[in-house]
Chains A and B, each alone.
Chain A
Amino acid sequence: GEDVEQSLFLSVREGDSSVINCTYTDSSSTYLYWYKQEPGAGLQLLTYIFSNMDMKQDQRLTVLLNKKDKHLSLRIADTQTGDSAIYFCAESPRSSNTGKLIFGQGTTLQVKP
């Protein structure tokens, strides 16, 4: 079946690195996504990784993909208070071919000054 799991909460100090983890079940997924949602706002696409890649880096963000373990992580370097938000991992299963995204429950990142 299709399922995406994330831990619900992460607290870090400003300036530290944050690592948000996600596991997924559908090995047919072509793309895996990270979205950020600030309070009262919509979802902001942070980054995505194609399933044949192991790593993608974009400024302070590093995405690691372990296909064997179906594990995805998002590392935020030098975490700032403005990074406080809910982070959703999502997969796009090729098996459905419907455009349907499967979201995790979201990880609330709290950044302490």
Chain B
Amino acid sequence: DTEVTQTPKHLVMGMTNKKSLKCEQHMGHRAMYWYKQKAKKPPELMFVYSYEKLSINESVPSRFSPECPNSSLLNLHLHALQPEDSALYLCASSQRLAGGPGGETQYFGPGTRLLVL
């Protein structure tokens, strides 16, 4: 089973709202990732967690706040977003960050399509 689930599937929010995106995997993976993807563009890495600790923050604005409460769950808290933040938000997981046969292979969830009005 290589399934990563994400909720909600779609989200519409105003610029003053607070919302959260949720990602879950039960593959025993210890690295989890958030990506942002604009239409017809490749995903852009936002955050990487390794063993529940933040490993990489790709200079993401503070209105995006990640959280990894346990090894299976990854959240992305959203506050005071701008219309240009509208995008597909993808979560991914891998066994670990690097090294070993296929251990760094990333499996993606279906994404949350976010619209900021």
Contacts and interface: CB of A to CB of B under 8 A. Distances in A.
Given A41-B111, A42-B111, A101 B106 contact: yes
The 6 closest A-B pairs by CB, nearest first: A103-B42, A99-B97, A43-B108, A42-B110, A42-B108, A42-B111
Contacts of A43: 43, 90, 92, 108
Interface stretch (B48-56, B64-72, B75-83): B48-56
Given A99-B98, A106-B41, A42 B105 contact: no
Interface in A1-51: 30-31, 33, 35, 40-45, 48, 50
A101 B45 contact: yes
Contacts, number: 71
A99 B40 contact: no
A42 B90 contact: yes
Interface of A: 30-31, 33, 35, 40-45, 48, 50, 86, 88, 92, 94, 97-101, 103-106, 108
B110 A31 contact: no
Interface residues of B, number: 33
Given A42-B110, A45-B107, A92-B98, A100 B45 contact: yes
A10 B36 CA distance: 25
Interface of B: 2, 4, 6, 31, 33, 40-43, 45, 48, 50, 55-56, 88, 90, 92, 94, 96-99, 101-102, 104-111, 113
Contacts of A30: 98, 104
A104 B104 contact: no
Nearest to A44: B108
B2 A45 contact: yes
A32 B8 CA distance: 31
B42 A88 contact: yes
